[in-house]
Amino acid sequence: MHGLRRWWDDTAGGLPATFWYLWSGLLINRAGAFALLFLSLYLTVARGAPPSLAGLVVGAYGIGGAAGTLLGGVLADRWGRRATLLAAHLVAAGLMAALAFTTHLAVIAVLATLVGVAHSMPSPAFVAAIVDVVPEARRSRAFNLQFWAFNLGMAVASLLAGILAEASFTALFLVDAAATLAAAVVIVLKVPETLTRRPALTPRAVMGRRPGLHTALTDRTFLVFVGLTFLLAVLTMQTSTIMPLAMRADGLRPSAYGLVVALGGALIVVGQLFVPRLIEPYRKSTVLAASTALMALGFGTLTVADGLPLYLGAAVVWTAGQMLAAPPNAQINADLAPPELRARYQSVFYLTFPAASFVAPALGGLSLEHLGERHWLVVGALGLLAAAGHLLAGPPRERRVAALRAAAVEPVSSAR
């Protein structure tokens, strides 16, 4: 019992109450965000849309998501984290309710685009608020718990979506809207505004330019990190875009693909809470290099995979890499962001995921078609390239973080 309590204190102890309310809101948000998982099926089955049109509507949702990520970052730094989270959740709930009763395909496409905007706006605000309230020494644990909640919520969403879709597509959208409103209620009642107005700390002494969204888009050290994260996202997207095609080519049934995906999700839910103590003694760049190398090894193994056991073994390896990468990846992103631009930096960082969701299937499909199983050698080489990049980029990142901390301390010293 004492050992269990000590493990929990090491894993989640010392985190402020506001973090746990944010965490709860995120978990409810993800567990309820299931309607869009079945959007293409809804369009083809319930609305009679051809698959090509259904694909365009789903793509419109993705385009809206990219715009919403940037908009959410800007608003979270201007309006505040709480106001942005509330606005995004309330708008999303209204749009989902409208989708439940809309029959015209053109209107559905517009609503799907707007839902993409509203669904993506909270991400920068959630992370910026966590950084605002969690002491630096505990942020790795906080981000680890955030990643765990995200995956647990997605697992619940997948289960509920299948049940509700069989019962009623209208219920699917309405329950999604209700869950979004529930997350908004948690934010209204329990989450205070965490944004602190302060003098700009990115100024010429550190960044050499006036602060704004363009600051993040022209920050070379940060953009190198974003580029490496993009490579990691491209690797991760292989499981949902290219791997199903490879498994079908190997004669495996869809149920086999579901088993591989379920194994990865189960490993994250069960094992993610043990990651902080495992990686704490090591430098973040070293952990990221090792985690990306594990992902490269896992996906590279698929070059010789021809049966379910090897796919399952490879999934264990690349999932371990994903689990190790999550906390340092989020923490480095937070460390590189000046306080007054925290949400804007988060929004640029989160653009890597919609970009990877486009690049991975577009180029991966061509690669698999022309290279066959050698496609996985290319994916593995890409992962090893990213691992080397993290080792090389680590020292400049650490110098940049030290400069930002010095700039944050200087105004306090001057005031004293």
Closest CA to 92 of 129, 74, 66, 65: 65
Q: Are residues 118 and 248 located together in one domain of the fold?
A: no
Domain identity same for 186 and 112? yes
Half-sphere exposure in the Cβ direction for 410 (13 Å, CA)? 13
225 and 372 both lie in a single domain: yes
Task: Please check whether residues 174 and 302 belong to one and the same domain.
Answer: no
**Residue 24 corresponds to which tokens in the numbers above?**
């709860």
Q: Is the pLDDT of residue 306 over 50?
A: yes
Distances (CA, A) of 271 to 11, 144, 243, 323: 12, 11, 23, 8
Least confident of 102-111, 132-141, 223-232: 132-141
Residue with tokens 């289960």: 159
* Helix pair angle (342-350, 220-241), 10° resolution: 40
* Residues 272, 332 share a domain: yes
Q: Is residue 268 part of a domain?
A: yes
User: 236 and 340: one domain?
Assistant: yes
Confidence band, pLDDT 50/70/90 cuts, at residue 266: confident
Rounded Cα gap, residues 201 and 108, in angstroms: 44
pLDDT digits (tens, 9 = 90+) for 4-42: 455 555 555 678 999 999 999 988 888 777 677 677 778
Least confident of 2-16, 148-162, 258-272: 2-16
Among 28-32, 93-97, 343-347, where is mean pLDDT lowest?
28-32
Q: Is residue 51 part of a domain?
A: yes
Please state the rounded mean pLDDT for residues 194-217. 62
Statement to judge: residues 278 and 178 lie in one domain: no
The CATH number given to whatever domain includes residue 100 is: 1.20.1250.20
pLDDT class for 337, splitting at 50, 70, 90? Answer: confident
Q: How confident is the model at residue 412 (pLDDT cuts 50, 70, 90)?
A: very low
Would you say residue 404 has pLDDT above 80? no
Residues 174 and 217 both lie in one domain: no
Q: How far apart are CA 32 and CA 105, in angstroms?
A: 24
Separation CA 71–CA 362 (nearest Å): 26
Question: What is the tens place of the pLDDT at every residue in 362-377?
Answer: 788 788 888 888 889 9
Same domain, 175 and 43: yes
Whether 101 is covered by a domain: the verdict is yes
Indicate whether 332 belongs to any domain.
Answer: yes
- Co-location of 130 and 219 in the same domain: no
Whether residue 149 lies inside any domain: the answer is: no
The share of the chain scoring above pLDDT 90, in percent, equals 30
More confident residue, 347 or 1: 347
Q: How many residues can be counted in the chain?
A: 416
pTM: 0.77
Please tell me the distance from the alpha carbon of residue 260 to that of residue 262, in angstroms, as a whole number. 5
User: Could you give the number of structural domains in the chain?
Assistant: 2
Mean of the per-residue pLDDT values of the chain: 83
180-184 mean pLDDT: 93
Range of the domain at 86: 18-140+166-192
* Residues 107 and 247 both lie in one domain: no
Residue 11 covered by a domain: no
Could you report the per-residue pLDDT of 35-93, keeping only the tens digit for each? Answer: 776 777 788 878 888 877 887 787 788 788 888 988 999 999 889 999 999 999 999 99
pLDDT of residue 18: 93
Model confidence over 370-403: pLDDT tens digits?
Answer: 888 888 999 999 999 999 999 999 888 888 888 8
Reply yes or no on whether the pLDDT at 355 is more than 70.
yes
Both tokens of 242, joined, read 């290219």
| 158: in domain | no
The Cα 361–Cα 356 span in angstroms is: 8
> What confidence tier does 162 reach under pLDDT thresholds 50, 70, 90?
low
Q: Within a domain: residue 3?
A: no
- Contact between 61 and 112 under an 8 Å Cβ cutoff? The reply is yes
Domain identity same for 180 and 213:
no
